Amino acid sequence: MSNKTVIDWKRYLVFFAKVGVSVLALIFVFNQINFTKVYELLTQSNPWFIALALLLVLFSQWVSARRLNCFFEALDIPLKESFNLRLYLLGMYYNLFLPGGVGGDAYKIILLHQHSKVPKRQLFLALLLDRLAGLAAIGYFLVVLSLGVDFLYPYSLYLMCLIPLAYWILKSLLSRFAHQYSKIYKQVNLYALLVQLAQVIAIICIVCALGARTQWMGYALLFLISSIAAALPLTIGGAGAREAVFLYGASFLSLHEEVAVTASLLFYIITVFISFWGGIYSFNTPRFELNR
């Protein structure tokens, strides 16, 4: 058996292992709640709020694609925004729908290396820093929203100090180990904050669509925590992991468990819907275009 065949089998095994974890997690979650209630919430949800949430998630993905292009521009690969967006959607599609195939990030690295000759290591670092910028923004919003949690309120001053401290530490590390990205640090952080703001408002819209408008801060906090859990490479697009966080978090914060899980499912469905359209470009790879 060739090395390539072994690698392909490993990819399939990893994919189906993730599917298994997602399925088991979802089965566990639905065994803990009233599924009939979840169905009622889904069928009776306000479609206008759902539509607004969809537009906000779409906007967040556009900003996220623009943020990633900032890193490519720093490597002297200024992709045209239209091509960059198509490539970003194609990456989302690969990450969700291709069993054993090349992941979205790996595909971008291969494609950009072929056309620009920039070393794969530098491209990998750019993608990694882009992800870290997103995680940092989640952390900033987590600190702000945690101030609405009663038992954390006495520590509010200390928690708020974490934001400038984390910002300074990340900037110092970037200046020391990846100085070519120092000039775009502020811009990238602003884009990352805008992405998370749009997605937090989107989850609030979803919660409002389900008729729970008074405890939005708690649901938004759970959403941010679940986003970190979903980023771990253990499930398919975070399915199962996100719902488990919402389930346990809702119990901890005295929120409606069925509303929390339903909101999580709706956000995942919206993400899958957007990712699905990236599949159009899997049949006709977008032509490589630089903004020059």
**pTM (2 d.p.):** 0.87
At residue 62, the pLDDT reads: 95
178 Cβ contact list (under 8 Å, min separation 6): 125, 129
Q: Residue 53 is encoded by which pair of tokens? A: 């949430």
At residue 110, the pLDDT reads: 85
Are 74 and 184 within 8 A, CB to CB?
Answer: yes
At residue 10, the pLDDT reads: 66
Nearest to 214 by CA among 182, 179, 256: 256
Handedness of CA 205, 67, 168, 136 (dihedral sign): positive
At residue 196, the pLDDT reads: 95
Are 98 and 278 within 8 A, CB to CB?
Answer: no
Task: Tally the residues of the chain.
Answer: 292
Q: What is Dmax (Cα atoms) for the chain?
A: 61
Q: How many whole angstroms separate alpha carbon 103 and alpha carbon 86?
A: 15
36 Cβ contact list (under 8 Å, min separation 6): none
Query: Can you give the pLDDT of all 292 residues of the chain as single tens digits?
Result: 454 444 456 666 766 777 777 778 777 777 777 778 888 888 888 999 999 999 999 999 999 999 999 999 888 888 888 888 888 988 888 877 665 445 678 888 888 888 888 888 999 988 988 998 899 899 889 888 887 777 666 777 777 887 888 888 888 877 777 778 888 888 999 999 999 999 999 999 999 999 887 788 889 999 999 888 887 766 776 677 888 888 888 888 888 888 988 999 899 889 988 988 877 776 666 666 666 5
